[in-house]
Amino acid sequence: MAVEPQGKRGRDKRGGPILTFPARSNHDRIRQEDLRKLVTYLASVPSEDVCKRGFTVIIDMRGSKWDLIKPLLKTLQEAFPAEIHVALIIKPDNFWQKQKTNFGSSKFIFETSMVSVEGLTKLVDPSQLTEEFDGSLDYNHEEWIELRLSLEEFFNSAVHLLSRLEDLQEMLARKEFPVDVEGSRRLIDEHTQLKKKVLKAPVEELDREGQRLLQCIRCSDGFSGRNCIPGSADFQSLVPKITSLLDKLHSTRQHLHQMWHVRKLKLDQCFQLRLFEQDAEKVGREWAKPELRVVGA
């Protein structure tokens, strides 16, 4: 299965996103649960504004068993979280009239239409279609999958790290202080270990990966190894999210450094105060000892 996510291309005439199910002979081997997860994910790829226009779904049934189309459409109706504007079903010409009556009895909440490849290009601009549909859309599914996987891994790692940094912020925001010298020493040691955690946070590593992904998305000269792919509106919509995450990671870590130094100063001051209190208590105990008296006869 594939999605055509190519920028201003890969859109129907209304500006809605196009989702395609390529021709294959083993539709029946796909688990329904896997199909549900897949269509749910693909529905989340375009921006919210684009999704609101409704998807045009193209299902290529050439080479497939005709009785598999209804379960596929049913899954789309039950599991697809976005609106489907129309489902265009491609079958070889000699199947059309024979199957049209049987298929017409099915009821779906979206429009369905059987078309030939030639008829498809009349409904969708050829520049929005891939070569398999006699279109001119430049799209490589393996490269698209590679970038999507990299993006998902980046977002998961960045959000997880940001959550860890925010947890450290909460620890540094603690206002309680120890009441004795030993407690002060213990908290200072713990505070030193906390700085090591801040320093080990892989912000630079994630920044490099984020910059690489931004370069891939912004590249307009075509795909070159792992460095860039043609620009895409669906990917372009992720640019603000990537830059925002990177900015927040850097600013949160910088704030952590500042918080660490402020609390370190307060812990040192507390330690000195507890030492003073301890020494004062010792002196007080010494002064409180009873003096030796010589009793005369």
Q: What is the mean pLDDT of residues 134-142?
A: 81
Question: Does residue 256 have a pLDDT over 90?
Answer: yes
Q: What is the pLDDT of residue 28?
A: 63
Question: Does residue 208 have a pLDDT over 90?
Answer: yes
Question: Does residue 254 have a pLDDT over 90?
Answer: yes
Q: What is the pLDDT of residue 116?
A: 86
Residues 93, 172: Cα–Cα separation, whole Å: 70
The residues that bridge with 57 in the sheet, in sequence order, are 19, 87
Residues 274, 281: Cα–Cα separation, whole Å: 10
Name the residue among 136, 116, 115 with its Cα closest to residue 125.
136
Q: What is the pLDDT of residue 233?
A: 64
Q: What is the pLDDT of residue 2?
A: 44
Confidence band of 51 (pLDDT split at 50, 70, 90) = confident
Token pair in block for residue 275: 């030492």
What single-letter DSSP state applies at residue 107?
-
Rg (CA), the chain: 33
Residues 216, 27: Cα–Cα separation, whole Å: 33
Confidence band of 270 (pLDDT split at 50, 70, 90) = confident
Q: What is the pLDDT of residue 62?
A: 82
**pLDDT one-digit tens code per residue, 1-41:** 444 433 334 788 888 888 888 876 566 677 788 888 888 88
**pLDDT one-digit tens code per residue, 102-114:** 555 467 888 888 8
What DSSP letter does each residue of 41-64 carry, written as one string? HHHTSS-HHHHTT-EEEEEE-TTS
Which of the listed ranges 7-11, 46-50, 215-219 does the model predict with the highest average pLDDT? 46-50
Question: Does residue 121 have a pLDDT over 80?
Answer: yes
The three-class DSSP label of residue 105 is coil
Q: What is the pLDDT of residue 165?
A: 94
The three-class DSSP label of residue 21 is strand
Name the residue among 212, 244, 82, 53 with its Cα closest to residue 147.
212
More confident residue, 285 or 125: 125
